[in-house]
Amino acid sequence: MSRLRIYGIARTRAFRALWMAKELGLDYEHDPIEIGDAGARTPEFLAINPNGRLPVIVDGDFVLFESLAITLYLAKKHSPGRLYPGTLEGEARAWQWSLWAVAEVDRGVNIWSLHAVRLPPEERDAARRAEALKVLVAPFKVLDAAVSGQPYLLGSDFTVADLNVAAVISRAVEMDLSAVPNLRAWLTRCLERPAAREALALKTRADNETPVDVTRRIARINRL
Ligand SMILES: N[C@@H](CCC(=O)N[C@@H](CS)C(=O)NCC(=O)O)C(=O)O
């Protein structure tokens, strides 16, 4: 059986899959391909992910795209009853938080980070940044309340629900989170895990090595 292969430079949503693989201590290969014509839109890549997006994994002869489907699959396969909840209700909660993260906060955090951090200062759009922050106020309050009386989303233990939500909003660590102190403490707790630190190091290196025209192209392609 060939090793798990994770495709996608760590600056992208591939970070989510890399973090999970590290949490699980998996033996995997990372193929840090770029978005667009240089990588994810080549005919070879389109053959494994017709969306032309990152990440995708190949696990034996099983191919899977969608970052949070990947983390849920890996957790269920390798850590049932621990990172992946062992009860029907716990599993449903993990899905709830994962779908919530994509629907409620993914785009807002991405827009904010581009227009607050990643684009050159003179190209940042203050109105888009402010609008993104406005959109995040209500869901961030929901998340803050969810981790106000317990350390993690499902209770006392870190699970795939925490990994998925924290990975989606990881760039929010650079925001002023003083209005949501429980969220801030929880996010820090998640991102300080050894596996998260390792994956974040890959992501930071990829961020630092990304030329500005690629960042501009990402903003354009993803309409951010
Ligand atoms: N919902 C997908 C989104 C994938 C996605 O949009 N990935 C970005 C990189 S973070 C990408 O490949 N963008 C390039 C493009 O759309 O051409 C997931 O979570 O995996």
Determine whether the shortest distance from the Cβ of 67 to ligand 1 is under 6 A: yes
Q: 32 with 11: CB under 8 angstroms?
A: no
**Class of domain 4-81 (CATH, top level):** alpha beta
CA 148 to centroid of ligand 1, rounded, Å: 32
Residue 222 confidence (pLDDT) above 80: no
53 lines ligand 1 (CB under 6 A): yes
Mean pLDDT of the chain: 96
Instruction: Tell me, in angstroms, the distance from the centre of ligand 1 to residue 189's CA.
Output: 26
Higher pLDDT pick, 173 / 220: 173
The residue ranking higher by pLDDT, 66 or 219, is 66
Place of tokens 């029907």: 88
Is pLDDT above 80 for 221?
no
State the pLDDT confidence band at 1, using cuts at 50, 70 and 90. Answer: low
Across residues 87-97, what is the average pLDDT? 98
Average pLDDT over residues 65-92: 98
Residue 136: in which H helix or E strand, if any? Answer: helix 126-146
**Domain residue extents for the chain:** 4-81, 88-196
Other CB atoms closer than 10 Å to residue 92's CB: what's the count? 11
Q: Which pLDDT score is estimated for 219?
A: 84
How far apart CA 40 and CA 55 sit, in angstroms, is 9
Cα(13) to ligand 1 centroid in Å equals: 7
Q: Is 45 exposed, middle or buried (0-12, 13-18, 19+ CB in 10 A)?
A: buried
Q: Please tell me the predicted confidence (pLDDT) of residue 71.
A: 99
Q: In ligand 1, which atom is closest to the CA atom of 68?
A: 19
DSSP 193: S
Q: What is the mean pLDDT of residues 10-19?
A: 98
For 126-179, how does the pLDDT look when each residue is reduced to its tens digit (9 = 90+)? 999 999 999 999 999 999 999 999 999 999 999 999 999 999 999 999 999 999
pLDDT value of residue 200? 98
- Closest ligand 1 atom to Cα of 55: 20
- Judge if the beta carbon of residue 13 lies within 6 A of ligand 1: yes
Confidence (pLDDT) at 220: 83
Residue 219 Cβ contacting ligand 1 at under 6 Å: no
Q: pTM, whole model, 2 decimals? A: 0.97
Cis ω on the peptide bond leading into residue 211 (within 30° of 0)?
Answer: no
52 lines ligand 1 (CB under 6 A): yes
CA distance 76 to 127: 41
SS3 83: coil
- Would you place residue 217 in the very low, low, confident or very high pLDDT band (cuts 50, 70, 90)? confident
Which numeric CATH code is attached to 88-196? 1.20.1050.10
DSSP three-state, residue 41: coil
| Lookup: tokens for 151 | 């350390």
